[in-house]
A and B are shown apart, each in its own frame.
Chain A
Amino acid sequence: MDELLQHCLNALMLGGTYALLGIGLTLIFGIMKVVNFTHGELYAFGAYMMYALVMVLGANFFVALPLAIALGVALGALLQFVLLRRLHSADIDTTMLVMIGAWIALQNAEQLAWTGVAKSIASPFPAAPLVIGPVSVAWNRVFVFFIALILIGATYLLINQTKLGRAMRATFQDRDTAALMGVRIGNIHTATFALGSGLAAAAGALLGPVFVAYPSMGDLAAAKAFAVVILGGLGSIPGATIGGFILALAEELGAGYVSSGYRDAMGFLLIIVILLFRPTGLFARKERIG
């Protein structure tokens, strides 16, 4: 029983970051219909930026964090502007390939810049874990959990309470009508990609100090992001949030009770199983009948 509680707590602490990854991707995937292969690289970028700021430049941890996220947002906007603007009417194969090309280039650039050796990032939290009765949790993970919640909440507010958010939702529901009503689709796409990338970078910036930073860390993150999107249904932020926690729980239970080697397989297995039975995800928003 204690073991189960511990697993649940671990999942809770980690689920928030998975949710961040998933929300970022569901926005991009949902609004722009782009299979974003660079999502994982933004995650890695966030982690590496923390490394650069904290370990190389000696910045304060709590200053570096928002800065790393901001840099992620900027990189996302840049990528969209350079690569995707011209392709806005291309078919899915084309954008997919451009994204794959960008992913390859980014990951190897990261490898070239930082070498393949894993980098650890010092965090200012006490090393001893917080003990609550039969379960324990590391302080840095608690921090990650709360920041993730704050970011999820902020994103939710942005999408539902601001003009930009309304434009994004309109574009998601019906792009052509939104354009007819004056929404600048190009700008919305840039904003969406920047936001989504920022969330991925945030996840990386938060988890980098908890684990380590290494060049291919983005690949697994991207895969989990996709799993979360499918769990939660395309374009659904609440779905992605819940999906993030479900995935974390599935991984924890799988690793704990089946075999730790298959932890990372859980996400993929969930994807396959869910899509087999519900080809559009669990909580899929009803598409507009057109």
Chain B
Amino acid sequence: MRAGLTILFLGILASLPLWLDNAYLLHVLIVTGIFIVAAMSLNLLLGYAGQLSLGHVAFFGIGAYASALVSLGFKLSFPFEIVVEAKPVWLAMLIGMVAAGLAGWFIGRIAFRVRGAYFVIVSISFVEVVRLVAVNWVELTQGPMALNNIPPLAVGDFVFYKKPENYWLVLGVAIVCYILIRRLVYSRAGRAMVALAENEPLATSVGIDVTRYLVLAAVVSAAMAGAAGALYAHYVRIVDPDVFLFIYTVTMVIMVITGGKGTLAGPIVGGLIFGLLPEGLRAMAFAPEAQWIVYGVLMVLVVYFLPRGIVPALQRK
């Protein structure tokens, strides 16, 4: 029964570009899809491994920038001479994921040393430093003037220019990420992460190594967010330091928490709501500030009335 509904749901999703005439709406769905991938990755770190990371957009942005730069090729004269020729986009995307994963490794190791609220602050600081580097290291990143004309993904002769193919690409990546996370969560590694989050002294007493699993959660989570970032870079084809703004981390966090952290469906539900909500509000001619006020109030309300998120509340019925 459940499997049937899922297949139906996926089928409808997959067929969307064939009958949806509205290019703008398709664009919104693509961006929402990218955010859902990022939210799923955050859910692994925040929801399952229990790490209060508020710097997730750093991984997204590093993936975006790394992939864009490698696909465009770049030249550096400081700290030493580097010349990198433009590489095919699929390779650039992989490199973007690896770069993000490395950042994840760094954060994972910090998470082990620095706990709780302090870790929250470190994660925020990390993003801000990365953002300021992106703004100031103009030679590499073009600073606020942005990286332009980023090439789209190309497989053989087929180029992912138009919206429908990008939509399917994002949908495909989202499905793959969902499966990966699901496998991880229902396995020995997933149990170890959750055990550490729930009762660390007990978990270590049965041999679960704290560093190993915090780092694992961080690296997988970061690499996935980096993939989302790379998708974004080659779809929107412009990347500027604003991609690191705290408000995007907040958006991802809202998606995960209101959807239901620590559940597989949570980030998807949250992502759909908060990805599509701004469009709904815009259609009702709300000023952008008013939209954000609605977000803020909504967040507070959800936390008060559905403290574990929407999906767990539905599951209890």
Contact = CB atoms under 8 A, between A and B. Distances in A.
Q: Do chains A and B touch in the complex (CB under 8 A)?
A: yes
Interface of A: 29, 33, 35, 83, 86, 90, 92-94, 96-98, 100-109, 111-112, 219, 223, 226-227, 230, 259, 261-262, 264-265, 267-269, 271-272, 275-276, 279-280
B120 interface: yes
A98 B128 contact: no
Interface string B115-151: 1111011101110110011011000000000000000
B287 interface: yes
B120 A101 contact: no
Interface residues of B, number: 40
Contacts of B126: 268, 272
A200 B128 CA distance: 21
Contact of A105 (B120, B136, B253, B296): B296
Interface of B: 52, 110, 113-118, 120-122, 124-126, 128-129, 132-133, 135-136, 246, 250, 253-254, 257, 261, 287, 289-290, 292-293, 295-300, 303-304, 307
B293 A279 contact: no
Determine chain B's interface SS by DSSP, over half rule: helix
Contacts of B261: 93
A73 to B, nearest CB: 22
> A-B pairs with the 9 shortest C-beta distances?
A105-B296, A101-B299, A104-B296, A268-B125, A101-B300, A261-B136, A108-B289, A108-B292, A265-B132
Given A98-B300, A226-B121, A262-B132, A93 B292 contact: no
A93 B128 contact: no
A268 B300 CA distance: 28
A250 B250 CA distance: 29
A94 B296 contact: no
Given A100-B253, A102-B300, A271-B121, 16 more contacts: A29-B117, A90-B307, A96-B120, A100-B299, A101-B296, A104-B293, A109-B289, A226-B125, A259-B136, A261-B135, A262-B132, A265-B133, A267-B125, A268-B125, A272-B125, A276-B114
A264 B118 contact: no
A105 B129 contact: no
Contact of A265 (B128, B254, B307): B128
B252 to A, nearest CB: 12
